[in-house]
Amino acid sequence: MTAKEIRKSFLEFFKNKEHEFIASSSMVVKDDPTLMFINAGMNQFKDMFLGNVEVKHSRVCNSQKCLRVSGKHNDLEEVGVDTYHHTMFEMLGNWSFGDYFKKEAISWAWEFLTEVCKVEKDWLYVTVFEGADDDGLKLDEEAFDFWKEIVSEDRILMGNKKDNFWEMGASGPCGPCSEIHIDIRSAEEKAKVPGANLVNMDHPQVIEVWNLVFMEFNRLASGELEKLPAQHVDTGMGFERLAMVLQGVQSNYDSDVFTPLIDKVVELSGFKYTSQEKSETDIAIRVVSDHVRAVAFAIADGQMPSNTGAGYVIRRILRRAVRYGYSKLNISEPFIYKLVDVLGEQMGEFFPELSKQQELAKKVIKEEEQNFLRTLEKGIDKFNNYSKTVTETIDGKFAFELLDTFGFPIDLTE
Ligand code: GLY
């Protein structure tokens, strides 16, 4: 299946189970002081979980644009360096607002993965919340028992509060979760080390694909947990990871979510993409292909790069991409803006906000690139002139001057 077909089949599956399709909300958060960007599909439903608004549809599905670059969920430093984290990503989700709970969430997730997507059952592992004394929470026996009806016990692993108790931020709706992990290593590797040993161990081929959250609590600012008025389901599946699995490739960047962007970076830079985890040019190509998505979608959602708050986060993401392009791909002219049309072609149909703002995104990105390239050149000259006069250490005052020039720390020794 192509990425577009995968998204469609997920949504169709849940529509057939009486879920209403709801469009992705803007990735930029304007009315929640606890959040800068949407970091999960559930954000737009926060008030429904809390019981603050009337529930129109008790079952909902969608594909939400998320950005995990600040606050509790921040993957920025992993992006590009590994092959399965992203700044902007799509989260496929199904929700129940006071309707079905653990049993259906678990059995439908299994049905979709193994019967619709035809994922091999013995590639899958599931995790269950083991409990947490500090919150007075016990092992999630209910989820454990439902999983036992579906998979053998050796595939059900216990997870701690960090991995198996999902919270959107320091406060807000939360609850125990059950994750589904997939092992896409070769048979030979599987024979050497069982997949169960690698779950939640940051292995690039043994990764979480779907998180089923059983929302029951609200974390108060005091840190205490309060029971929600009803029990809900919030699930999140990594669309790019699912595409990787279903397309039989070993990296999200080798799926057709990314290959058109990567091909364009290859064309513009003249460097080949070899799909290696450790290659510096491959990392740079991944960083650029990833970051353009975050920046273009943020602009399409009304967030311009700027010097403060959310705008500064977007500016830094773009500058990280420019820096990788400049230092690893030898590109000293604006080029990232040229990827926006490729992105529009891929995603503009499902996310029409992108098509509408495509020209604006190109213009803003080009200007930002131009300005930062000038800054970068000036800063590097300054550094080179300075470092001719010293051997080992740099004066603190000069380091701060440089920091001021770039706006954030850059490793100039790379
Ligand atoms: N809200 C579920 C997740 O983000 O994993």
Q: What is the pLDDT of residue 410?
A: 67
Best of 61, 90, 91, 162 to mutate for ligand 1, by most ligand atoms within 8 A of CB? Answer: 91
**pLDDT > 70 fraction of the chain, expressed in percent and rounded:** 96
Half-sphere exposure of 267 (CA within 13 A, CB side): 11
pLDDT at 235 over 70: yes
pLDDT at 414 over 60: no
Mean pLDDT, rounded, for 122-145: 97
User: Which residues sit with their C-beta closer than 6 Å to ligand 1?
Assistant: 40, 42, 166, 211, 213, 234, 236
Mean pLDDT, rounded, for 32-48: 88
Mean pLDDT, rounded, for 20-34: 90
Mean pLDDT, rounded, for 37-53: 92
Mean pLDDT, rounded, for 145-167: 97
Q: What is the pLDDT of residue 412?
A: 61
pLDDT at 389 over 80: no
d(CA 293, CA 297): 6
In ligand 1, the atom with minimum distance to the C-alpha of 42 is: 1
* Nearest in space to 106 (alpha carbons), one of 96, 98, 97: 96
Query: Whose alpha carbon is nearest atom 4 of ligand 1?
Result: 40
What pLDDT band is residue 408 in, cutting at 50, 70 and 90?
Answer: low
Best of 74, 166, 210 to mutate for ligand 1, by most ligand atoms within 8 A of CB? Answer: 166
In ligand 1, the atom with minimum distance to the C-alpha of 73 is: 4
In ligand 1, the atom with minimum distance to the C-alpha of 41 is: 1
Q: What is the pLDDT of residue 398?
A: 81
pLDDT at 167 over 80: yes
